[in-house]
Homo-oligomer: A and B are copies of this chain.
């Protein structure tokens, strides 16, 4: 078959984008008989379709707002609602501006294009959210990874890492990182903000999962903390999304930046897609103006907590010491490591044959990756199916050991 790279003169950056081989492997996970713990999706049966139906009816009462071209920065009603949510979490809006984005994925692309020239350095956590690495690569950047432990990314390593160039951007998923589930500790948050202010490097905090916390207390966001660290407010950006709180299909995220940077970001966004769907924005604004969100979130968090507990208990019971992991206080994923040297890439076809799927850990590394990790999502399957999925994984694992 003809490939684009052989026939067409692709840009250097586009030619370097590779289709993930994991994606190919996991096509089998879509079979009806496979229990998939490989996805990164919220539970569709918990969507508040009734609430969104009412919100849509309300939004379409003003067709000129919901259906016409809108402002690049976002629909005023949605911006106000999102700003109010951020304020309620201790974030001051003075000197900052909020831009509605087509999912938080677009927020990453906007920041990348705003800041990055060919060869610029972006600091990420390791392992990493893969689509972020793709976006930074498409902007021509090199990513340098900070190892993670239980307190999140080891930001102190910024002092000792040898960078080819001074970093332009530090990108971290701060609560419940994907895939590791680790959250950045309060002490590290403060240390990082002080470092960023002194070195004048933008820190972009990505917070898709904070809304899915079921236990423990959340530390203040980087952006809330930045107000108390001299000079840090000017070097802190933040992105989040309605994908986990309301529904991914709306494709609504937002980007909070210091005012001067936000204005330049809006010029970039205009060249990307003019603006995000005003229809989706007006529906979301109506939904947030109603009184259903908190009850909906309680329901989602309750279900996810029950599912996560079921998964973790089944993993403990089946694998004992052969599999280690920390049960996170929220998010969507359990990140586990085999202590017996099991290669999760080798195990995957056997797990698929046994009727379950996961993502092998090496998929989350741009460079030399450990082969003994796996990511398990607990959000889309009920407890009984999660337990059955673990039983199938265990059977596949035992067969590998026997082989």
Contact = CB atoms under 8 A, between A and B. Distances in A.
Given A2-B260, A279-B280, A11 B249 contact: no
B60 A270 contact: no
Given A8-B260, A49-B67, A60-B56, A13 B113 contact: yes
A145 to B, nearest CB: 18
Interface residues of A, number: 85
Contact of A109 (B2, B137, B272, B277): B272
A168 interface: yes
A283 interface: yes
Given A3-B260, A14-B113, A14-B115, A102 B273 contact: yes
Contacts of A264: 4-5, 8, 10, 14-15, 17
A134 interface: yes
Interface string A11-36: 11111011100000000000000000
Among the interface residues A11, A135, A168, which one has the most CB atoms of the partner chain B within 10 A?
Answer: A11
Contact of A247 (B1, B45, B109, B279): B279
Contact of A102 (B138, B247, B277, B283): B277
A105 B273 contact: yes
Contacts of A277: 102, 249-251, 277, 279-280
Nearest to A169: B9
Given A15-B264, A49-B63, 7 more contacts: A3-B260, A8-B260, A41-B68, A47-B64, A49-B67, A66-B249, A102-B102
17 contacts: A1-B260, A7-B260, A9-B168, A11-B139, A14-B113, A42-B68, A44-B63, A45-B64, A49-B63, A53-B56, A105-B273, A113-B138, A134-B270, A135-B271, A135-B272, A137-B271, A251-B274
